Amino acid sequence: MESMRRRDTSGTASQRAAVTLVNIGEMDSAPRYRQMTAADLDAVIAIENAIYPYPWTRGNFRDSLAAGYHCWMVECGGGEVGYTVVMVAAGEAYLLNLSVARTWQRRGLGRELLNFVLKLVHKHGADKILLEVRPSNRAAIALYSSAGFTETAVRRGYYPAGCGREDAIVLQLELDKT
């Protein structure tokens, strides 16, 4: 079976080495979900550093695990290809991070992972879910909008950016009560 290694020059050598070997013949295999553990952090950080100019730190993920947030990995084609971090409290969910490795983007995996998150938070008693997204992240905005999220606010200067700060758009989705 033909294989290709995703070439990525961001991050440290150990982070680049942790990037998943992708089997071309398995790219359409069904995703599997499992809870994230501290042992996953090298793979998570490798993906995070490859896809974001201002990535979360290892400490952000470690703190999310320690706080008991819902941290999940998605595996496909024999390796880790994405993850999510969600906080649920008092009937609300807050989507803190939903990420898919660059080589797996534009294949429906983000939508699949979002659907997984929506079922998860509903099961844990959330009536709505909120998130923040950069206005420059058009792909994410399109994904969330197509799932029914609506804009509720703008947080001025929320994110670091190349020339100062970038706003955050706050999106919300009311979940079915059924």
Per cent of the chain over pLDDT 70 is 83
Residue 16's pLDDT is 31
Residue 94: per-residue pLDDT: 98
Instruction: Say how many Å lie between the first and final Cα of the chain, rounded.
Output: 45
Instruction: Please choose, from the candidates 45, 38, 55, 56, the residue with its C-alpha nearest in 3D space to the C-alpha of residue 12.
Output: 45
CA distance 95 to 114: 9
pLDDT over 90 at 19, yes or no: no
When pLDDT is cut at 50, 70 and 90, the band that residue 149 belongs to is very high
For the chain, the domains span 3-174
| pLDDT over 70 (residue 85) | yes
Q: Beta partners for 174?
A: 128
Query: Do residues 83 and 97 touch, judged by C-beta distance below 8 A?
Result: yes
Residue-level pLDDT at 178: 55
CA distances, 160 to each of 41, 54, 167 (Å):
23, 7, 9
114 Cβ neighbours under 8 A, 6+ residues apart? 98, 143, 144, 147
pLDDT of residue 28: 57
**pLDDT (mean) for 55-79:** 96
Q: How many CB atoms lie within 10 A of CB 62?
A: 12
Distance CA 116, CA 167 (A): 27
Query: What is the pLDDT confidence band of residue 108, given thresholds at 50, 70 and 90?
Result: very high
Is-contact 96 146, C-beta < 8 A?
no
Mean pLDDT of 71-80: 94
The pLDDT mean for the chain works out to 86
Query: CATH second-level architecture of 3-174?
Result: 3-Layer(aba) Sandwich (3.40)
Band (170; pLDDT cuts 50, 70, 90): very high
Q: CA 161 to CA 113: how far, in whole Å?
A: 26
With bands split at pLDDT 50, 70 and 90, how would you rate the model's confidence at 39? Answer: very high
Q: What is the Cα–Cα distance from 149 to 143, expressed in whole angstroms?
A: 9
Report, as an integer, the average pLDDT of 166-176. Answer: 96
Residue 14 pLDDT > 60, yes or no?
no
- pLDDT confidence of residue 12: 36
Q: How far is Cα 72 from Cα 119, in angstroms, rounded to an integer?
A: 13
Which residues are catalytically annotated?
Answer: 132, 144
Cβ(71)–Cβ(99) under 8 Å? no
114-130 mean pLDDT: 97
